[in-house]
Structure 1
Amino acid sequence: MAQADTVQSLRISQARSADEREAVWRFRYGVYVEEMGKIALANADHKRRFLTDELDEDALILYAQEGDAVVATLRINNAKRTRLPPALETAYRLSRFSAIAPERLSFSSRLMVARDLRGSVALHKILSRAYELGLESGVVYDFCYCAPALIELYEHLGYRPYTENFLDPEVGYRVPLILALKDAIHLEAVQSPFWRKLKNRPDMWQEQKDADWLAREFPATTKAARWGAGEDAFWQFLADKLRPSTGSRVPLLEDLSEDERKRVLKSGTVLSCRAGDTILRAGDVGNELFVVLSGLAEVRLSKAKQTIAVLEPGQVFGEIAFIANVKRSADVVALAESEILVVSQTFLRKLMRSAPDLASKVLFNLSRVLCERLVYSTRSMLPEKPKPPEKPAKTSGAKKTITIRTG
């Protein structure tokens, strides 16, 4: 069936029956375990090919169906009915929201779309339904977390990074995000698809005092708002970080014109990391490329605890998985507070279609990075050549006469 026909026939429903929920569990397993290779997930039932956990028990489970097949799903938990695991409560900083009634807080997770429909409106349809349900039930804030490569998607929806990132032991480095469902000013500024649902309901718009509270409690949300409101501010920020006068060499951008540099850099999102944050782990699944904007990052072999390289502003990492879709080969840890530009593989694929000349330049630059790393790795593995023994000084057969002068 053509994709257009498939999208038109999508039905968004709530999974209420056991059969409906089990169909969702199987769909999750297919995406996370079979497609993405996350076989070590603690809650994966490999015998039944299910992926479910304790948060599913009292969650609202949305799913999109095409024919008899589940093609997308999203889980929503409400704080009144669900107690999150302590690690998530800490990651979301929920203690800071104690003055807000629990029923006005929700948590979104397990969002996934079938591979063939990831460029369709399936994602928009299931998220729009979730947003409508949130408005109808009086939810004020929705929380979620995502991989660094997906920050751009969530920011376009209206979510904002608001607190420190954290390391999930199963899926890796994650960014906590918050959505103020009724923040009309922000949703309009970022042109969120949710704005179309809210703009004709001014009686539901968030009061300014609530927006001021969020900005005061979590200053990081104001930076996201500034960048979302205009690309010039974001470009200026990146230009300041990577201007040539700093002495930083940016291998990814070599031989690109000013307009081409802008196009590449503005495709990414900025990740703020604390010293000690593990940004990548060996064995993790992911296809993002990272550029150090400020601070330092260390590349380590996790098992040997061996430092491979220290990356300074302008340098890149994650380039192998970005190109080859393989698991991460090393750990990368922030040595200081750092800002990292994250570029997704999706951008490169779009660039190959819309601007093949620019895409070829980027790929050529990445190939040079790979070659430099390969040469360095090869040299570091080779044993040092033993120094040749020193040759004894040449002496003639004649006897030496030593003259002692006395004064």
Structure 2
Amino acid sequence: MAVRIQQALNHHDKERVYRFRYTVLDPDFVPEQTEIDHERGLIFDSHDEHAAIFYAQKGPDIVGSIRVITDLPQQLSEQGMNLYQCHELITRLQPHQTSVTDMFVLDPKVRGQTLVSLLWSAAYQFLLTSRSDANITLVGPGMFGLYHRLGYRFYGQPVRHASGLNFTPMVLTTRDYQYLLEIMSPFAMNLCYEEDDDGRIANLLTQNLSLFENRAYVPPLDLGTFWATFADVYARSTHKRSNLFDNRSPNEIATILKHSILKTLSPAEALLLERSTKTTIGIVIRGCLGHGVVSDFGHHWYNLFREGDTFVIMNGQVDSQTNIVALEDSQVAILSPNFATEIKSDDPVLAARLSMSTLAIIQQFIAEMEEGSVDVENETIAIQL
């Protein structure tokens, strides 16, 4: 069944989208601006009132949504202005030139490159027609490289979200055609050179915002792989993998790290694991790593590991072309091949618990490998992560 993208133009549709977000999002991400309009009998987020909301509908069900808030000083709360760190940004531009994109939400059962690309394309087209020259969004760990590929760049300090994760504000200079074309952003297909702002907004931000990043690392993915990766990484952000650090005390974590090899990787740097008959177990301390084929024609990911994930690489999953590559500045701890035996001398109880946790993680990893595909609009596509 085909997915249709529509804009929520009345209060009834906006409430339907709100209820969809409420059922899908983690409770920590549910907006605090919830209000009840007794006269109209509606439950809504006050930011929805004047925002442009696009939603994907499959049959009778909503399966995805994205929201764009324009005219920030009037339509965004003071708390939101502080969260997005956009006071200085607005002083450098006209208020009507700035906007925020948020509430990008997908039904975890229906995801894939088509759904994601259609929602983002609708939002971007709205940014063009509304003449919003700078669009702001908050990006969590593991998604930076993918948002870089869309055209977003850092401009503010990381902020602590209620969920406990750090999110970083990023800005898209909407009509910077040459830059979008240079990084092969999918948005470049919606823009023509006649609308190019000649980098004017980017230059203005470079001159006035010390943290604005004029250039960024962009993953070299073809568009199909990019959108599939974007969809799957986002879905995984709501599904926390088992982690060997879970429920460990600081002393226990220090013991695990003592028997690990710490590696710091720059964007696009490979971990360079050697082929082995043993299973390699690693923990992503920070950043994001992709496991897949690395070639001159692009990178194709079989799996992707975010901050906090414990990953398992088995014999045969690493060869001359297949490796683990950093998508952003990352640090990873590789456990010693005999870590359980080594840790046993320091903490026998921890060693026993780690052995059981490791077995569970390997079983989870094998189960994920056996899934192999996701159903998207009656089509089956291989997960390229």
1:314 maps to amino acid: K
d(CA) in 2 for partners of 1:342 and 1:62?
Answer: 29
The answer on 1:62 being equivalent to 2:54 is: yes
Whether contact under 8 Å (1:103, 1:139) holds in the other structure is yes
Q: Aligned partners of 1:60, 1:39: CA distance in 2, in Å?
A: 23
1:86 maps to 2:40: no
Change in CA separation of 1:104 and 1:370 when aligned onto 2, cut-off 3 Å: farther
- Once the two structures are TM-superposed, the CA of residue 132 in structure 1 deviates from its matched residue by 1.0
Residue 349 of structure 1 is aligned with which of 303, 313, 335?
303
State the shift of 1:182 in Å. 0.6
Match of 1:228 in 2: 218
Counterparts of 1:83-162 in structure 2 under 5 Å?
A: 83-86=76-79, 88-89=81-82, 91-162=84-155
Pair 376,19 (structure 1): closer, same or farther in 2 beyond 3 Å: farther
Give the TM-score normalised by the residue count of structure 2. Answer: 0.59
Which of 188, 197, 201 is the matching residue for 1:206? 197
Match of 1:358 in 2: 317
Report what 1:197 is aligned to. Answer: 190
Q: Matched residue of 2:67: which SS?
A: strand
Q: Quote the Cα distance in structure 1 between the aligned partners of 2:240 and 2:176.
A: 32
Compared CA separation, residues 42 and 63, structure 1 to 2 (3 A)? closer
**Structure ranking higher on relative contact order (CA contacts 8 Å, 6+ apart):** 2
RMSD of Structure 2 on Structure 1 (CA): 4.5
Which residue in 2 is equivalent to 1:379?
Answer: 346
The answer to whether the 8 Å contact 1:189/1:229 transfers is no
Alignment of 1:185 with 2:139, yes or no, is no
Measure how far apart 1:128 and its partner are: 0.8
Structure in which a larger fraction of residues adopt helix: 1
Mapping of residues 190-339 of structure 1, within 5 Å: 190-199=183-192, 201-202=193-194, 204-216=195-207, 217-218=209-210, 220-224=212-216, 227-228=217-218, 286-287=240-241, 308-309=253-254, 314=263
Greater per-residue strand proportion: 2
Shift of 1:40: 7.9
Displacement of 1:94 after TM fit? 2.6
2:24 is aligned to 31
Query: Greater CA radius of gyration, 1 or 2?
Result: 1
Question: Take 1:184 and 1:53, find their aligned partners in 2: how far apart are those partners?
Answer: 34
Whether the aligned pair in 1 keeps the contact of 2:141 and 2:287 (CA below 8 Å) is no
Contact 1:300 1:307 in 2 (8 A): no
Distance 1:380 1:72 in 2: 47
SS of equivalent residue, structure 1 residue 11: strand
SS state at 2:17 partner: helix
**Aligned CA distance change for structure 1 residues 115 and 169 (closer, same or farther; 3 Å):** closer
Task: Give the CA deviation at 1:153.
Answer: 2.1
Letter in 1 for 2:65: T
d(CA) in 1 for partners of 2:337, 2:22: 34
In 2, distance between residues paired with 1:370 and 1:171? 32
Q: Secondary structure at the match of 1:349?
A: strand
Residues 186, 348 of structure 1: CA spacing in aligned structure 2 closer, same or farther, 3 A cutoff? same
Distance change >3 Å, CA 41–CA 65, structure 1 → 2: closer
Normalised by the length of structure 1, the TM-score is 0.56
Q: Distance in 2 between matches of 1:149 and 1:51?
A: 33
Contact 2:157 2:169 in 1 (8 A): yes
Q: Which amino acid counterpart does residue 372 of structure 1 have in structure 2?
A: F
In the alignment, what sits opposite 2:65? 73
Tell me: CA distance 1:342–1:350, structure 2 relative to 1, closer, same or farther (3 Å): closer
2:8 paired with 1:15: yes
* Shift in alpha-carbon separation, 1:164–1:80, aligned structure 2, 3 A: closer
Partner Cα separation in structure 1 for residue 183 and residue 15 of structure 2: 37
Q: Do the aligned partners of residues 128 and 218 (structure 1) sit closer, same or farther apart at CA in structure 2, a change above 3 Å counting?
A: farther
Offset at residue 93 of structure 1 (A): 4.0
Mapped contact 1:64–1:126 kept (Cα < 8 A): yes
Aligned match of 2:367: none
User: What's 2:234 paired with?
Assistant: none
Q: Deviations over 1:305-353 (max 9, x none)?
A: 768337985169xxxxxxxxxxxxx9x7xxxxxxx5412689443899x
How many residues are paired up? 280
Measure, in 1, the Cα distance between the counterparts of 2:10 and 2:338: 54
Residue identity in the other structure for 2:68 = I
Structure 1 residues 155 and 141: CA distance shift in structure 2, 3 A: same
User: Is 1:348–1:359's contact at 8 Å kept on the other side of the alignment?
Assistant: no
Q: Any idea what SS the aligned residue of 2:92 has?
A: coil
Contact 2:31 2:45 in 1 (8 A): no
Q: Residues 113 and 315 (structure 1 numbering): CA distance in 2 closer, same or farther, change over 3 Å?
A: same
1:187 shift after superposition = 0.3
Please state how far the C-alpha of 1:16 moved relative to its aligned partner. Answer: 2.5
Give, in whole Å, the separation in 1 of the partners of 2:338 and 2:9: 53
Q: What 5-or-longer segments of structure 1 have no aligned partner?
A: 1-5, 232-266, 269-283, 290-298, 317-329, 333-339, 384-407
Quote the offset at 1:193 in angstroms: 1.1
